Amino acid sequence: MRAPHSCTRHLTPLLLLALIPSAWSAARAPSFVDIPYGEHERHRLDLWQAQSDMPTPLLIFIHGGGWHGGGKSDLPIKLLEFMLKQGVSVASINYRHTSTARLPAPVHDAARSVQFLRSRATAWNLNPKRFGAYGVSAGATTALWLAYHDDLAVTDDADPIKRHSTRLQVAVGLSPQTCLEPKIITSWIGKEVLNHPMIARAVGAGKVQDLANPQPAWIPVLREFSPINHVSPGDPPVLISNPRVDPLPATSPGSAIHHAIFGVKLKEKADLAGVPCILRIEATADDSIAKPETFLQRHLTAN
């Protein structure tokens, strides 16, 4: 098996910062720490409340790591401080890794965290109609899936948490994987995309090469958790950020799994559906293209 390459050199400085544990001594401590939102030991979140007499918008940070690593402490301090100054509260979540729980676990965990936070909206001074998400890499895939997927709320469920909406009002994804279907993404990017372990781990493939001829049971799972398959009219605004546009076909697994073509294809689908979608390429972006933080602030704090 070909060894996966390190992908960190393909990430922006902000993406790299998002992968480094935050030094909370440099920022104010969370208002609530390690709050359980479910039964698993990784169903935990931290919350920073913005100071306000009125219910505040909420930004939920979803860490990267290929759904296989990382944690809620990866929240970038600069993002936290910016949002709090804008009157936006911030939550950062853990979720189950695919080393112990395959798809749909990491994504459905994030959905439950949204529902849990809405269930605490009154107690924690949050505006349940102003929820957004900011995700990195696999966390960005989750954030976009939440933005585009139909609401998972079940209004008469025995679990009161599940009665709340999973829908977002805005989302930002940094270098997301907008499609997970092997045949489609190899046609976009080349074979190197299947040499990265993220997608193989997500379905429990023994080897990355197994994705070239996926088991029948994997196909509907990878189709379901591809955000691009859920874009429809009326979905919330989304911004996708990539550091640059690498050559095609991709020359390494790290370049392939974070390639800007994922965002290009999603924007094409969103444009056809009439859904707002901004693609920001950091190497060429100018002031006419919103930065992720200001994009979130504008949509979360709009009247």
What DSSP letter does each residue of 173-202 carry, written as one string? EES------HHHHHHHH-GGGGGSHHHHHH
Does the pLDDT value for residue 213 go beyond 70? yes
Question: Can you list the positions of beta strands (E) in the chain?
Answer: 32-36, 44-48, 56-62, 89-93, 126-136, 170-174, 238-242, 277-281
- End-to-end CA distance of the chain, in Å? 54
Residue 275 lies in a domain: yes
Residue 53 lies in a domain: yes
Percent of the chain scoring above 70 in pLDDT: 91
Residue 240 lies in a domain: yes
User: What mean pLDDT do residues 281-296 have?
Assistant: 94
Residue 3 lies in a domain: no
For residue 273, the model assigns a pLDDT of 98
For residue 208, what are the contacts with CB-CB under 8 A and spacing of at least 6?
Answer: 1, 2, 4, 194, 195, 196, 197, 200
For residue 231, the model assigns a pLDDT of 98
Percent of the chain scoring above 90 in pLDDT: 88
pTM to 2 decimals?
0.91
Rounded-to-integer distance, Cα 24 and Cα 28, Å: 7
Q: Where does the pLDDT of residue 10 fall: very low under 50, low under 70, confident under 90, or very high at 90 and above?
A: very low
Q: Total structural domains in the chain?
A: 1
239-263 pLDDT per residue, tens: 999 999 999 999 999 999 999 999 9
57-87 pLDDT per residue, tens: 999 999 999 999 999 999 999 999 999 999 9
For residue 162, the model assigns a pLDDT of 97
The CATH number of whichever domain residue 198 belongs to comes to 3.40.50.1820
Output the average pLDDT for the chain.
Answer: 92
For residue 2, the model assigns a pLDDT of 34
22-62 pLDDT per residue, tens: 444 445 799 999 999 999 999 999 999 999 999 999 999 99
For residue 33, the model assigns a pLDDT of 97
For residue 287, the model assigns a pLDDT of 87
- Beta bridge pairs of residue 170: 132
Q: Where does the pLDDT of residue 1 fall: very low under 50, low under 70, confident under 90, or very high at 90 and above?
A: very low
Rounded-to-integer distance, Cα 266 and Cα 228, Å: 6
- Beta bridge pairs of residue 45: 35, 93
For residue 260, what are the contacts with CB-CB under 8 A and spacing of at least 6?
Answer: 242, 244, 245, 246, 279, 281
Residue 262 lies in a domain: yes
131-153 pLDDT per residue, tens: 999 999 999 999 999 999 999 99
89-120 pLDDT per residue, tens: 999 999 999 999 999 999 999 999 999 999 99
Of 117, 140, 131, the closest CA to residue 167 belongs to 131
Give, as one character, the DSSP assignment of residue 270.
H
Structure tokens, 196 = 């990265």
User: What mean pLDDT do residues 203-230 have?
Assistant: 95
Range of the domain at 15: 8-301
Residue 2 lies in a domain: no
User: What mean pLDDT do residues 162-166 have?
Assistant: 98
